[in-house]
Amino acid sequence: MESQLARIEQSLNARYTLWVREALDELQHNFTITDPTISGHPIVFASPGFLKMSGFSREQVVGNNGRIFQGPKTNRKTVMEIREAIREERAVRVHLLNYRKDGTPFWMLFQMSPVFSKEDGGVVHFIGVQVPIRRNKKLTDDGADAACNEIAFGSCRREVCPDSLVELTRVLALDTDTNCKGVKIEESCEASELEKQRAATAINNILSVLTHYSESTGRMVCGKRCSLPAAGLINSSLNISLGRIKQSFVLIDPHLPNMPVVYGSDAFLKLTGYDRHEVLGRDWNFLNGVDTDSSILHQIQESIQAEQPCTVCILNYRKDKSTFWNLLHMSPVRNATGKIAYFVGVQMEEKCKSQDRRGLSPEIRQLGAVGAVKVAVRSLSIGASCSKSSDGFNNL
């Protein structure tokens, strides 16, 4: 089974030629590339410009997600707007207050765009471009010092060097009688048209590089969805939510022929020895073998047809053909309208049935995983319904 680090490394290597990193390094833009198909939606590439701007090293950035750049003054509503765009697999442009490694806040124009697979229409990456916002703050009526405004607004005026941290603290601590009266670091900044154009140009340049270097591998990508998502392909936002669940489980689509697996957790891959690409699309019962009890399989099929949960102990086979007794819990997963969207199968090796360190029984742990999956699926469908309602309202 691939490790998390190996999957991050292969995120670009598997879809583009090996020269893509060198080509991306040459672009004079501040940007990151993330992979929503990997647990945690990590950054898989960070440009030299972005690393210089943020103060982080590549080793500190790659493998993490965008939360490491957020701080106490980052607008949560703006962050939710970005998450909503990820859920809907669309582009977004917002003004965002982020933090450098040294704790210095800075305003930036953040523009994100999905990268689609030409083959199946699924989202394979997100590009995130960051353009520091530079804006001249008008002097106040009492002749406030421009240098004071310059520091207190962080990158609203210019990038603040690390040595300015002490000065920033001093400025913000001044009383209301000073020239800095009314200046707040969290005040929003508006990007200029030139900065917006820079962000759009960066997105186009990065997409051009990715498209070019995907042609040789035969796994071409594009900036717009060229085809409808393939059957059984789950939304990238659901992929991210499911990736936070630590137990071993698979998600099965009962509406497709042979009920294929559409998601397998990292713990499931570790338990069975399979890589993710070897699991997705397989029949729901692909772990069974010659000594698997057919009557237990029949019991599972009956519960699926009755749309009811069931728990069985079944002999299963790993990729290396070794066997293990699997305490399997199957349960239907309904969307926000009450219709069955998926079935979830939670696995637990028989020898691991003892209580965990929190005193939870195997059954409780499995039900906890089922509950987490149900919340993820229902949250996605509720969000989609709200978005459609909002679009309808806006079109009135």
Residue 345 and residue 211 in one domain: no
pLDDT digits (tens, 9 = 90+) for 23-55: 999 999 999 999 998 888 999 999 999 999 999
The mean pLDDT of 144-170, rounded to a whole number, is: 38
Answer whether residue 114 is part of any domain.
Answer: yes
Beta-bridge mates of residue 311: 329
Q: How far apart are CA 113 and CA 118, in angstroms?
A: 15
Residue 43 and residue 89 in one domain: yes
Answer whether residue 67 is part of any domain.
Answer: yes
Answer whether residue 319 is part of any domain.
Answer: yes
Q: How far apart are CA 161 and CA 53, in angstroms?
A: 10
Answer whether residue 231 is part of any domain.
Answer: no
Q: Kindly report which listed range (61-70, 157-166, 346-355) carries the lowest average pLDDT score.
A: 157-166
What the block records as the tokens of 376 is 């993820």
Residue 274 and residue 309 in one domain: yes
Rounded to 10°, the helix 76-88/362-394 angle is 90
Which of helix, strand or coil describes residue 270? helix
Q: How far is CA 125 from CA 85, 150, 163, 377, in A?
A: 13, 36, 36, 21
For CA atoms 292, 295, 298, 303, the dihedral sign is negative
Q: How far apart are CA 185 and CA 166, in angstroms?
A: 15
pLDDT at 178 > cutoff 60: no
DSSP letters, 180-226, are TTT--TT------HHHHHHHHHHHHHHHHHHHHHHHTTT--EESS--
Question: What total of structural domains would you count in the chain?
Answer: 2
Residue 101 and residue 249 in one domain: no
Query: For a pLDDT cut of 90, what percent of the chain falls above it?
Result: 52
Residue 261 and residue 197 in one domain: no
Answer whether residue 72 is part of any domain.
Answer: yes
Query: What local confidence, expressed as pLDDT, does residue 232 receive?
Result: 59
Give the global pTM. 0.62
pLDDT at 259 > cutoff 80: yes
One-letter identity of residue 134? R
Domain that holds residue 363: 236-379
Residue 274 and residue 298 in one domain: yes
